[in-house]
């Protein structure tokens, strides 16, 4: 049976330094060389994913920005893009203005991703911006207002602030069935910093995983995750593995709890179960 393995990155496959361990790199490359079908699903964009995953010989499309984008690594093109409905852009911008929030707005046009910001008014926003510029050479463009952008190619908003400041906006957005959100704590911050990410309701890790299952003809999909934005991915999978450091609600939703990201839980599980008659049979581990 043809099986696809999909892993989240931050908190799942990556260590505390936002890197792949040497063991993870060597194990994944060995398994891919032996024919294991492996890819990743993340809230990140291709700029940081390309850098982080460079040592691994990925040969399948990757799921980006919580399922908004599916990017084909070999051809370097977006093969599935879910845009925010243009008639909902005014609603989103109105909510941001009402709650005095800002962050980053993303656009895809002609297979190119652009990232815009209005102001870097908090340390969290500055740190997010500076890390991606300095570490991954990702370009950002400052604009006077998000409202000035052409809404036709906007795919995503990423807001960072305290849970208290974001929660009211999160609740306001929930009333729009055409818009989806991911609302979760920043696992790298020691402060009360949360992400509120806004995108089309047609774009989730669930939909992106089902797109790969259907277009590439997989009988089984196995997913790995740690945070609440991985729960949609789990719904698309036959078997789900939460790393030991995962949030409790993710562990409860998983069929298995495996070793933590700091103990290379994902590659160790793959090494044990993906080969040598220990693969997947009818959705169960043999």
pLDDT tens, residue by residue, 195-210: 999 999 999 999 999 9
Residue 285 has pLDDT above 90, yes or no: no
pLDDT tens, residue by residue, 27-66: 999 999 999 999 999 999 999 999 999 999 999 999 999 9
Report pLDDT for 126: 96
- How far is the C-alpha of 117 from the C-alpha of 115, rounded, in Å? 7
CATH topology for 86-200 is 3.30.1240
CB 29 within 8 A of CB 246: no
Report pLDDT for 283: 40
The per-residue pLDDT of the chain, averaged, comes to 93
- How far is the C-alpha of 63 from the C-alpha of 212, rounded, in Å? 9
Residue 282 has pLDDT above 60, yes or no: no
Report pLDDT for 284: 46
Report pLDDT for 277: 42
Sign of CA dihedral 97, 99, 102, 105: negative
Is 3-80+204-285 CATH 3.40.50.1000?
A: yes
What are the extents of the domains in the chain? 3-80+204-285, 86-200
Query: Are β-strands 37-40 and 3-7 bridged in parallel, bridged antiparallel, or unpaired?
Result: parallel
Give the CA distances from residue 70 to residues 52, 143, 270, in Å, rounded to whole numbers and listed in that order: 17, 27, 23
Q: What is the mean pLDDT of residues 118-140?
A: 95
Q: What is the mean pLDDT of residues 7-32?
A: 97
Residue 164 has pLDDT above 60, yes or no: yes
Q: What is the mean pLDDT of residues 187-192?
A: 88
Report pLDDT for 286: 40
Give the CA distances from residue 271 to residues 73, 181, 241, 277, 278, in Å, rounded to whole numbers and listed in that order: 23, 34, 14, 12, 10
Residue 220 has pLDDT above 50, yes or no: yes
Looking at residue 34, the DSSP 8-state letter turns out to be T
- How far is the C-alpha of 10 from the C-alpha of 26, rounded, in Å? 19
Helices (H), 117-218: 123-136, 163-173, 205-216
Q: What is the mean pLDDT of residues 126-149?
A: 95
Q: What is the mean pLDDT of residues 215-219?
A: 96
Model confidence at 276, pLDDT cuts 50, 70, 90, reads low
- How far is the C-alpha of 277 from the C-alpha of 203, rounded, in Å? 35
Region at 143 (left for phi over 0; alpha for psi -120 to 50; beta for the rest): beta
Residue 188 has pLDDT above 50, yes or no: yes
Model confidence at 275, pLDDT cuts 50, 70, 90, reads low
Q: What is the mean pLDDT of residues 137-160?
A: 95
Residue 281 has pLDDT above 80, yes or no: no
């Amino acid at each position: 049976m043809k099986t696809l393995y999909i892993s989240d990155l931050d908190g799942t496959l990556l260590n505390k330094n936002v890197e792949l361990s040497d063991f993870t790199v060597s194990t994944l490359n060995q398994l891919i060389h032996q024919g294991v079908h492996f890819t990743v699903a993340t809230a990140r964009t291709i700029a940081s994913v390309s850098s982080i995953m460079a040592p691994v010989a990925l040969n399948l499309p990757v799921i980006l920005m919580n399922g908004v984008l599916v990017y084909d690594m070999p051809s370097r093109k977006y093969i599935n893009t879910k845009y925010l409905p243009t008639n909902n852009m005014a609603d989103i911008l109105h909510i941001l203005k009402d709650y005095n929030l800002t962050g980053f707005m993303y656009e895809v046009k002609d297979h190119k991703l652009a990232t815009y910001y209005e102001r870097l008014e908090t340390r969290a926003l500055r740190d997010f911006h500076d890390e991606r510029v300095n570490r991954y050479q990702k370009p950002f463009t400052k604009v006077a207002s998000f409202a000035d952008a052409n809404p036709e190619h906007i795919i995503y908003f990423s807001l960072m602030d305290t849970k208290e400041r974001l929660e009211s906006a999160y609740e306001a957005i929930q009333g729009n069935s055409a818009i989806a959100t991911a609302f979760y704590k920043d696992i790298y911050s020691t402060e009360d910093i949360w992400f509120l990410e806004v995108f089309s309701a047609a774009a989730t890790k669930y939909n992106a995983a089902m797109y790969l299952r259907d277009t590439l003809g997989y009988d089984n999909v196995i997913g790995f995750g740690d945070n609440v934005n991985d729960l949609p991915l789990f719904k698309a999978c036959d078997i789900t593995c939460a790393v030991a450091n995962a949030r409790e609600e993710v562990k409860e939703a998983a069929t298995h709890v495996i070793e933590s990201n700091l103990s290379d839980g994902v590659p160790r599980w793959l090494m044990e179960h993906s080969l040598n008659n220990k693969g997947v049979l009818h959705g169960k581990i043999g």
